[in-house]
Amino acid sequence: MTRSDAPPRFAVRRATTADAGAIVALIELNVPSGELLPRSADFVQLHADHFLVAEREGRVIGCVHLDEYAPSLAEVRSLAVVPEAQGLGAGAGLVDALERLARVRGYATVFAVSNSGEFFRRLGYEERHIPELDRERSSVSRYKGVHAKDLGPASHRR
Ligand X SMILES: CC(C)(COP(=O)(O)OP(=O)(O)OC[C@H]1O[C@@H](n2cnc3c(N)ncnc32)[C@H](O)[C@@H]1OP(=O)(O)O)[C@@H](O)C(=O)NCCC(=O)NCCS
Residue ranges in contact with ligand X by CB under 6 A: 30, 35, 76, 79-81, 86-92, 112, 114, 116, 118-119, 122
Nearer to ligand X, 35 or 132 (CB): 35
Minimum distance from residue 66 beta carbon to ligand X (Å): 12
Nearer to ligand X, 145 or 154 (CB): 145
Nearer to ligand X, 44 or 154 (CB): 44
Minimum distance from residue 28 beta carbon to ligand X (Å): 11
Minimum distance from residue 23 beta carbon to ligand X (Å): 13
Nearer to ligand X, 69 or 156 (CB): 69
CB 108 within 8 A of CB 150: yes
Minimum distance from residue 65 beta carbon to ligand X (Å): 9
Residue whose beta carbon is closest to ligand X: 91
